[in-house]
Amino acid sequence: MSRPIHSALTLKTQVLVYQELISTLAMQIPSESFDLNPLEGLISEATYNTLIDNNLLSEKGVRDYQIRRHFRSMRGENVPAYEAIEQLREEYPYLQFDTIRKIVYKLNGARR
């Protein structure tokens, strides 16, 4: 049994309304609030986009870099290591305390 035409039109209208709403909301968010290049300072925006376009970046590696950078920043503000790791756990609730500790101290890989 097929849907009545008015039902399908209503659904299509709803989709269009939602798309318009999303685009309107996206325009209201300042572009500075988007972190387009999380590796800023290491590589340029163009290089980052090229790596992303060619699927050459590890999401986990980028995440770990961001975690280490944020940890170092907090430690630079004299936040105790335990509290800094707990703060990071709030930002990344799917990671265990020990996992974050290993990331920030690079215990699971070679040190430079």
- In order along its 112 residues, the chain shows pLDDT tens digits of 555 555 555 777 777 777 776 766 656 555 444 557 888 888 888 898 888 888 888 889 899 999 999 999 999 999 999 999 999 999 999 999 999 999 999 875 555 5
What is the rounded CA–CA span in Å between residue 20 and residue 25? Answer: 9
Please state, as a whole number, how many other Cβ atoms lie within 10 Å of the Cβ of residue 96.
11
Q: Where are the beta strands (DSSP E) in the chain?
A: none
What is the rounded CA–CA span in Å between residue 86 and residue 96? Answer: 10
Cα distances (Å, whole numbers) of residue 37 to 40, 94, 100: 5, 23, 22
